[in-house]
Amino acid sequence: MIPGGGQPNMQELLQQAQKMQQDLARAQEELADALVDGQAGGGLVKATVNGSGELRGLVIDPKAVDPEDTETLADLVVAAVHAANENAQQLQQEKLGPLAQGLGGMPGMPF
C-alpha cells in the first residue's frame, strides 16, 4: 500500500520493472563474458571461469605433474577451480546484488 492510501501508479511500476529486467539481462550478459581466475599450489594450477561459474580454461605447470602422485594434482585442480568459482560468485554479487536490492525499493511492492 502507498503511504496516504493512494494506489500505485501501474504505468510507473511497469516501467520500473521493465528497466530492472533490462538491467538484469545486461548484467547476466556481462557475467557470461567476464573471466575470473583461481589458483592453487602457489600458482602451479590456474583455473579460469566465466562470471556464471563455467570452467573456461585450466593451466597446469609441468612441475605439478608427478606420475607417481596424481592425487595431489587432482587436489590442486579442484582447489583452483573452487577458488575461481568463489571469485565468480563475488563478481555475481557485485553485478546482481544492486539489482536485487532494487526490487525492494519499488513503490507498492511488498518486498
Region 57-65: mean pLDDT is: 95
Locate cell 577458488: which residue?
83
Whole-angstrom distance, CA of residue 4 vs CA of residue 12: 18
Q: How confident is the model at residue 24 (pLDDT cuts 50, 70, 90)?
A: confident
Whole-angstrom distance, CA of residue 109 vs CA of residue 105: 8
pLDDT of 6 > 70? The answer is no
Region 34-45: mean pLDDT is: 95
pLDDT of 23 > 90? The answer is no
Q: Give the pLDDT score at 111.
A: 39
3-state secondary structure of 1: coil
- Higher-confidence position of 29 and 55: 55
Task: State how far the alpha carbon of 88 is from the alpha carbons of 10, 26, 32, 35, 95, in Å.
Answer: 36, 17, 10, 8, 10
78-111 pLDDT, tens digit per residue, is 999 999 999 999 988 888 887 766 555 544 444 3
